[in-house]
Amino acid sequence: MAGTIRKASHAGSWYTADGVILNRELSGWLKTAVESKIRHAPARAIIAPHAGFSYSGPCAAFAYSQIDPSSVKRVFLLGPSHHVHVDGCALSLCSQYATPLGNIPIDQKTVAELKATKKFQDMTIATDEDEHSLEMHLPYIAKVMESRAGSYALVPVLVGNINKNKEKEYGEIFRPYLEDPSSLFVISSDFCHWGKRFSYTFTEPAWGEIHESIEKLDRMGMNLIETLNPADFRAYLDKYGNTICGRNPILVLLGTVETVKKNSDKQNLALKFVQYAQSSPCKTTKDSSVSYASASLTFN
């Protein structure tokens, strides 16, 4: 609805609602990431996790530290739907997203362009505010884009079920935006959710302890994502069933990259993972963990 502000519904639980404290936390994590000198920048797209900041915040900083905000006017935020069934992609009805670091305006012009394709549903306000895969990126976006406050806008996209045809379809829709250097794509995804509470307990004893097996499995997927080949990543998901919750947003990005490479002279695209972490090291079947990975896509 025009004029509606999406509230920061996870502030105070998944991350601090105190803007001063939050700014200090984000600054510290970004400083550590920059000092690591792991560089794959300037990013035109990033993949970063969306768990509570005490778990995934430090890992996400490695993706956000690859961004040069100076030319960014539009930030596409693609996150998986955790609570409702979405056939394809859905767009926000709000005009702004609230964060403890200030509100971020929605790019109404771009939203209207996407709606005109007839390939997007609308999110209800309740669905919008329930979805942490979108909200957990807002403080980081507000922080890294603080020098551009008032000069950039957000395009939130909730991604549901994506088959091969939709992957290509959305790839064509998003292609001109990804080709535009004033656009930044943020892809929201955690990696393996392991343990009985996630109904996923795949292990390969030859790969070592459980947490080592999980990392090996995740890195197989990360390596395939780096090849920018959506078909190979799909085959990996089909074979191992790895519980990468943002697999569909990742596939939309890979489908978009594929169309860019086929339809323009921009052939030197490269995606590289710059950080990996786990919430805890699983050693027995009673344990559980969630994995986090950060990546950066560049145009050379």
pLDDT of residue 170: 98
Per the DSSP assignment, residues forming a β-bridge with 47 are: 187, 295
Furthest-apart CA atoms within the chain: distance in Å: 56
Q: Is 3.40.50.920 the CATH classification of the domain at 5-188+247-278?
A: no
C-alpha 119/C-alpha 165 separation (Å) is 12
Output the CA torsion sign for 128, 250, 106, 57.
positive
Asked if residues 272 and 40 have their Cβ atoms less than 8 Å apart, the reply is yes
pLDDT tens digits for the chain (300 residues)? 457 999 999 999 999 999 999 999 999 999 999 999 999 989 999 999 999 999 999 999 999 999 999 999 999 999 999 988 899 999 999 999 999 999 999 999 999 999 999 999 999 999 999 999 999 999 999 999 999 999 999 999 999 999 999 999 999 999 999 999 999 999 999 999 999 999 999 999 999 999 999 999 999 999 999 999 999 999 999 999 999 999 999 999 999 999 999 887 666 899 999 999 999 999 999 999 999 999 999 998
Domain boundaries, the chain: 5-188+247-278
Pair type for strands 289-299 and 193-194: antiparallel
Nearest to 62 by CA among 125, 144, 148: 144
Q: Can you spell out the DSSP letters for the chain?
A: -TTPEEP-TTBTTTB-S-HHHHHHHHHHHHHHHHHTT----S-SEEEE--S-HHHHHHHHHHHHTT--GGG--EEEEEEE-SSS--BSEEE---SEE--TT--EEB-HHHHHHHHTTT-EEEPPHHHHHH-HHHHTTHHHHHHHTGGGTTS-EEEEEEE-B--HHHHHHHHHHHHHHHHSTTEEEEEE----EEBGGGTB----GGG-SHHHHHHHHHHHHHHHHHTT-HHHHHHHHHHH----TTHHHHHHHHHHHHHHHHHSS---EEEEEEEEEESS---STT--EEEEEEEEEEE-
pTM (2 d.p.): 0.97
Helix-helix angle 210-226:230-240, to 10 degrees: 160
